[in-house]
Amino acid sequence: MSEALINRLVEFAESGNQQKIVLNGQSYQGWVMEITEEALLITTGYADKTGKDMWIPFADLAQAELSYWDNQQDQWAAFKL
């Protein structure tokens, strides 16, 4: 994976209060917890019992919609890789 893409994913992970990834009609809203050489880990929910961890391969991110919660605008803002 290119260093430029990993840097953009780190920027995405640090943007806003939460991140949202919509992929194939499924929405994952929460926090980016880890970025590896092959995938990104997003965790959803507010507690261990209701939250889920989802690994999303970089290849799938190319077709996903990324956004983050913009606290200043109080709305989701699109994020482009």
Q: Give the N- to C-terminal CA distance of the chain in Å, as an integer.
A: 13
Residue 13 and residue 19 in contact, taking contact as beta carbons nearer than 8 Å: yes
Q: What is the pLDDT of residues 7-54, one digit of tens each?
A: 999 999 999 889 999 999 999 999 999 999 899 999 987 655 677 899
In order of 2, 3, 55, 63, the CA distances from 20 in angstroms are 22, 22, 13, 14
Structure tokens at 75: 């709305």
Q: What is the pLDDT of residues 41-58, one digit of tens each?
A: 999 876 556 778 999 999
Q: Name residue 28's beta-bridge partners.
A: 21
CATH fold of the domain at 3-79: SH3 type barrels. (2.30.30)
What pTM was estimated for this model as a whole?
A: 0.87
Q: How far apart are CA 42 and CA 24, in angstroms?
A: 16
